Copies of this chain bind each other. A is one copy, B any other.
Amino acid sequence: MYHHVKKLMYTVNISQPDPKFGKMLLEQFGGANGELAAAMQYSVQGLNCEDAARKDLLMDIGTEELSHLEVVGALIRMHLKPMKDDREAAEADPLIAIAGGGGVGLVDSMGNAWTANYLKITGDVAVDLRSNIAAEARAKIVYERLIGFTQDQGSRQALQFLMTREITHMRAFTAALESMEKPIFSVGIIQPTPGLVDQYFNGSTGESQYGETDFRGPWNESHGLSLVESEIKGGTGLDVAPYDPKPGTEKTSPVDSSPVGAYTGNAGKQIKERNSAKKAQAAKNAEPAA
């Protein structure tokens, strides 16, 4: 259950409206990496999360992002105001001016309607946390760029507030992933094919007209990797010997989400049972409060 308190989480004030900057700011209201995307990604992941502790985390941050949506919306609304009756301002975004009456809408800086295609929700908590870490990094860089395009102090301070919170969330999601105590390249319950997983494939070779060449780097040789050249370039190519998947071979965590699939064998069943037992226990502990 949600409750709304009219006080904004952060007080926004601007010296004078800059409607073209307001249009830029829409990126963080109805854009791909904006506050609604964050709020929805974390909250829906939370609804689906089987681990009550990480579910709490997801709901905490999902809810804070809703409060941010309101803050950035208030800031944008101040900047867009001239679109109501200045022809030149209105030309910069007629969708906002004419269809939206000069108010904020769930669109990005080029007028694209917000879509749930922006969201990354897999229902596997260890995977979702990685998506969230990346999402926070993206939101951080977008806020930083917006700061770089305005000199209005009130706007810069509001954006600094919002930008800061992304780093807080990035830390929290990282902590949550680390606390699962899985090896960083373990995902799910099936190990990758030995040998093949170590082969870095050199899919792009040669040299461009602008001096870019076929570099070597740690990504060719650390974390167990080694370089393989393509058959097309006379190399051996990848090891393509058929290999049967073996559910249950990957290292898992006690807080992993249930595996999905009818044919995951015992590995799938065991994790599901463990999760059910955990949930039953949580519900039992909670009973007096219910």
Q: In the docked arrangement, what's the CA distance between A142 and B261, Å?
A: 10
* Interchain CB contact under 8 A, B188 and A3: no
The count of chain A contact residues (Cβ–Cβ below 8 Å) is: 187
* Interchain CB contact under 8 A, A122 and B147: no
* Interchain CB contact under 8 A, B56 and A212: yes
A208 → B minimal CB distance (Å): 4
CB 8 Å contact bits of A116-151 with B (1 = contact, 0 = none): 111111111011001101100110111011111111
* Interchain CB contact under 8 A, A130 and B124: no
Q: Which residues of B contact A14 (CB under 8 A)?
A: none
Q: Which residues of B contact A187 (CB under 8 A)?
A: 137, 140-141, 144, 167, 170
Q: In the docked arrangement, what's the CA distance between A213 and B173, Å?
A: 19
* Interchain CB contact under 8 A, B102 and A260: yes
Whether A262 touches B48, Cβ cut-off 8 Å, given contacts A7-B1, A56-B204, is no
- CB-contact partner of A6 in B53, B206, B285, under 8 A: B206
Q: In this assembly, does A266 line the interface, its C-beta being within 8 Å of a C-beta of chain B?
A: no
Q: In the docked arrangement, what's the CA distance between A171 and B268, Å?
A: 25
Q: Which residue of B lies closest to A217 (CB)?
A: B53
Q: Which residues of B contact A212 (CB under 8 A)?
A: 6, 52, 55-56, 282, 286
Q: In the docked arrangement, what's the CA distance between A115 and B145, Å?
A: 25
Interface centre among A101, A171, A232, A279 (most CB of B within 10 A): A101
- In the complex, besides A4-B62, A57-B219, A207-B289, 18 extra interface pairs with C-beta distance below 8 angstroms are A1-B6, A2-B70, A2-B203, A5-B231, A6-B204, A6-B205, A31-B99, A44-B105, A90-B149, A98-B260, A111-B112, A112-B113, A133-B134, A140-B188, A147-B261, A148-B262, A163-B192, A176-B218
7 smallest CB-CB distances across A and B, nearest first, come from A148-B261, A101-B123, A110-B111, A48-B103, A211-B283, A211-B286, A63-B203
